[in-house]
Structure 1
Amino acid sequence: MTTLDLDFVRSQFPAFKEPSLENWSFFENAGGSYACHQVIDRLNNYYRKTKLQPYHPFPASETAGQEMDQALVNLAAYLNVSEAEIDLGPSTSQNTYVLAQAFRATMQQGDEIIVTNQDHEANSGVWRRLADSGIIVREWRVDPESGYLNLTDLDNLLNDKTRLVTFPHCSNIIAHVNPVAEISTRAHAVGAKVVVDGVSYAGHGFPDVTALGADVYLFSLYKTYGPHQGLMVIRQETRDMLAYQGHFFNKDLAHKRFVPAGPDHAQVAASSGITEYFDAVHAHHFDQEATPAKRGQDVHDLFQAQEQALMAPLLEYIRGRNDLRLLGPDKPEERAPTISVVTKQDGRSVAEKLSKHGIMAAGGHFYSYRLFEGINLAPEAGALRVSFVHYTSPDDIQKLLKALDQVL
């Protein structure tokens, strides 16, 4: 099996050569990853050469528009969807707000939607507010012991009035990977649409959205080595049924439908750097030619294998202590590498102590307030969260374990 060349990977990220970050180990990737040089180079190039309104009939403007268009093509190919099904907005939180308004206009009083208490509030609160319009909101609740979502509980909520089911690909706290394809099949069986929050998953490798069966899939590019943009895949059948949200005279422009504020030109163009990075990783590790979707799957699996190897000693360490409560699975193959633990101290206090040992981590509820309540923990105290991705090194993990020994 191909193994990740960590030296090659880390050479793609300027942060690892930045003097001010020397001797620090980065464990807050769930809040935002380092940017690869391909993204930074594109952003710098755009601001130097094409920082103007795109799509006008002069060379710099034409180039700007072409770079923006190409970014959407590249991202769509990796996600195995069409370019017309991609939207880039200011953030996933903003995208979900606009999306909820688009869905609301298609619903009638008495229609039902299903939300979870496992979600980040960005993919929960906007849907719950639809109750003000007469929509019935049903909560798919986590198991209070494990924090997992149970499919039987979903079956008990689904009925012929269900119009929408929304849930995370994986929680930013529990990190258990939910069976998206199976949930999509169950929701579609009653005629419901499926909206998946992939923010806490996509940083560990882009998913094949078509294979997942989701009608909408959302995530944040600044957590996938890119600029601060939110990506939203809306499948064409769903796009056609949703209410338009932009200026009336742009109604026929596909990428204006659900981005009413207009795009951040430079950051959209720079998004191509993410797929260029994935291309570079694939070319370095694999000999064969492959479609973008296949390259995406290969890179996804490569990242996942590296992350599972990194998780193993940390999870073993946590199992060996009686003063830590791990939230989520203790098996690397069942979770993303976002490791949250409850300690005798509040999460932020532990993170502050870790920072004195060169560990960048965080503590709190991370906008999953309802989840903490659902597993009978105080959101105010939260948890210590250490989150990493494929570019994290085994030395970083050992440094973390030594630091935890000293501060707990």
Structure 2
Amino acid sequence: MIRDFSAFMPGGTPARREPTALERLGWGPTFASQIDTDALTATPPVRVVAVHRSGLQVAGDGIDETIPPGPDATVGDWLLLNRARPRSSRVLERKSLIKRRAPGTGREVQLIAANIDTVFVVTSCNQDFNVARLERYVAMAFEAGIEPVILLTKADLAEDPAPYVEEAQKVSERVPVVALDARGEEPAKALASWCKSGRTIVFLGSSGVGKSTLTNALLGTQDIATQGIRNDDARGRHTTTRRELHATTGGCLVLDTPGMRELQLTDAATGIADVFEDIEALAARCRFADCRHETEPGCAILAAIEDDSLDPERLARWRKLQAEEAFNSASLAERREKDRAFGKLVRSAMKAKSDRKR
């Protein structure tokens, strides 16, 4: 069947109407501008709504199926579906990408989600609260070019949530902080300005902080399983086992994710600088351009520590993230170089073998 995709092409200014199937999945000019009408008809656009071990679950206009693994894609990506060779489906250029260094001893990069508009960094008003972890998540969001919001759940269970809010606000002046009860109608009201039709949001955080509960609240259902936390240490239990997009009745796409026990940053120098822009501004005022901020005279950072305008613990976290990011990025660059060299060796061997057969 030939479908009319003209409404999605650049320059189109359709009158007010009901959103199409693609628009309900988050389609817009960012993606339409990358292709022409012929390509849209021959290879219909689909969005990756879930990633399974068996492949990618994709949805589009009249399409809802699982294709084999192959495209280097993650949940939230838009593909041009190649019906004849689905493994060769083209991934459209992303407007945002959340990634981390994969857990374990390997040096691979794990793609978390693509084409996200708002990242809600979720933590609880209890023992789970950790400023250093919040800084990591916010740095990852900044690096991806995504608007971050810090959500403090279980505010109804805390004796006084104000101290948690105050600490969270110190992460960055650019990041809003919202404290709420993840259940009932409160999330839909408190997050309404971010959860608009056509937008895609994601909840990120540890297990047990209320990500699935928040998703259920926005969807108005109890379809997504939830579990409580352990009483002894407030740590959560894994409930969500895969990243999957869900559509609200208002047209917002919500990505529920498994909890992350390890978040190693890589290729995130700009995001870290954005989170710690107060320290970066101080560093720019040091007498020496190569100041290590240890014992050098004229160090603006040491002066700020001395007059109590900079928290030494915040400085220590900045140093730690910088060192981690530099190591991970260098390791990744080294791996990429080795992969290129190996690929070149394989191509050379294949060419030599072909020449011998002639």
| Shorter-chain TM band | under 0.3
- Whichever structure has more helix as a proportion of its residues is 1
Of structures 1 and 2, the one with the larger relative CO (CA 8 A, separation 6+) is 1
TM-score under structure 2 normalisation? Answer: 0.25
TM-score under structure 1 normalisation? Answer: 0.23
- Whichever structure has more strand as a proportion of its residues is 2
